[in-house]
Amino acid sequence: MSRPLRLGTRGSWLAMMQSDLVAGMLRRQGHQVELVTVVTDGDRRPIDLSPGVGVFVTALEQALLDGAVDVAVHSAKDVPLVMRDGLVIAAFPAPREDPRDALCTTRGGHTLDTLPAGATFGTDSPRRAGFVLSHRPDLVHRPIHGNVDTRLRRLGAGEVDALVLAASGLDRLGSSGRIDHRLAPEVVPPAPGQGILAVQCRSDDAEVRGLLEGIDHPDIRLAVRTERRVLETTGGSCRAPVGALALVGGGQVRLLAGAAAPDGSERRVLSLEGGTTEAEALRLAEEAGAQLMNMVVQYVA
């Protein structure tokens, strides 16, 4: 480009770190990049904001549509299934960070199994709440909203005994030491796309799309498409109590998918394997989603 590429980012520390990663990839390919901070609803009212679809995404998408930025970086798990007209995810770059959820506790040293009965854990995710409670029904769920920085401050203030949040966010922040227990995907299946960055641009901007193709990773794109197709098939949104993890390699896709009642009273986890063509992977995802649909529909109505 004849001018620097304007990369839109949220203002939180994690979002800035993620945007810096993508900016670095593009700079290594010889492109000039300028970071532009965009304030989202999820950052403006981080404590009292009611959870909802797209609270960390909508403002960045609008900045793209308005021409204020050329590129936006999202956590793939936060991107709504239905893309706004005129936008496209042009790159899912490598590497994928740890897709698992993490347990952080106030005093440290606990695992999910060793938290005392009656301990409180914070999350605003129905998926995390449901799977944790299905494994430990003697724990107490407390809704905790906001970005990672806000949630960690509330943990430090003693509002809850533990937090459950994405391990990838803490790893990218250099805060892996805050993690007491990385939760097995079989116990808490991760959100579709967790640990993956999604780089978005305007669909009619051929020049920028061409630049971003250089940092797209086909295996990661296949994994996130497979995971999101599970969710799509169930009829849920990114707020649905559905987890999916696709591992692509060795000529096959291994898919783990699950759903849970938000109160932990019901859960189901599936494991399937298939080929690595897009058609085969999406068929696998649709099979898993169809098996989970009846459970999910009652919690997303």
Collect the ranges in the chain with pLDDT lower than 50: 46-50
Q: Can you give the pLDDT at residue 49?
A: 46
Instruction: List domains and CATH numbers for the chain.
Output: 1-93+196-216 (3.40.190.10), 101-182 (3.40.190.10), 218-301 (3.30.160.40)
**Tens-place pLDDT, residues 43-70:** 555 444 445 556 678 999 999 999 999 9
**Tens-place pLDDT, residues 202-261:** 999 999 999 999 999 999 999 999 999 999 999 887 788 999 999 999 999 999 999 999
Give the DSSP letter string of 17-66.
HHHHHHHHHHHHTT--EEEEE---HHHHSTTTPPP-TTTTTHHHHHHHHT
Q: Can you give the pLDDT at residue 299?
A: 67
Q: Can you give the pLDDT at residue 48?
A: 44
CB atoms within 10 A of CB 133: 21
Q: Can you give the pLDDT at residue 40?
A: 67
